[in-house]
Amino acid sequence: MDFRRELYRSPNGDLWSLGRDPADGLAMIVHQANGPSGAAVSFITIRDFLGSGENGPQHQALLRLIAGLIDDGAGNDEVAK
């Protein structure tokens, strides 16, 4: 994954980004743990990321990004709850 778009950086230093899998070009979530946690990088399919049932700030950031792709002309940009 050469290009990544930062979605969310947590107060503890974890970084969540949107990137592409070089093998198939599909969008993936890239999570890089903070330094004290070992700075490990993990790749998560968008389906698994959103289907986890969690609603953390990193999930909300992805949903806002997706919502930003849709312009209803009324300025509605609230994330569905």
Q: What is the mean pLDDT of residues 21-38?
A: 91
Confidence of residue 2 (pLDDT cuts 50, 70, 90): low
User: How far from each other are the two terminal CA atoms of the chain, in whole angstroms?
Assistant: 31
- Number of neighbours of residue 76 by Cβ within 10 angstroms: 9
Return the CA Rg of the chain. Answer: 14
On average, the pLDDT of the chain sits at 87
Whole-angstrom distance, CA of residue 17 vs CA of residue 46: 11
pTM: 0.77
Q: What is the mean pLDDT of residues 9-20?
A: 96
Asked whether the predicted pLDDT for residue 72 surpasses 70, the reply is: no
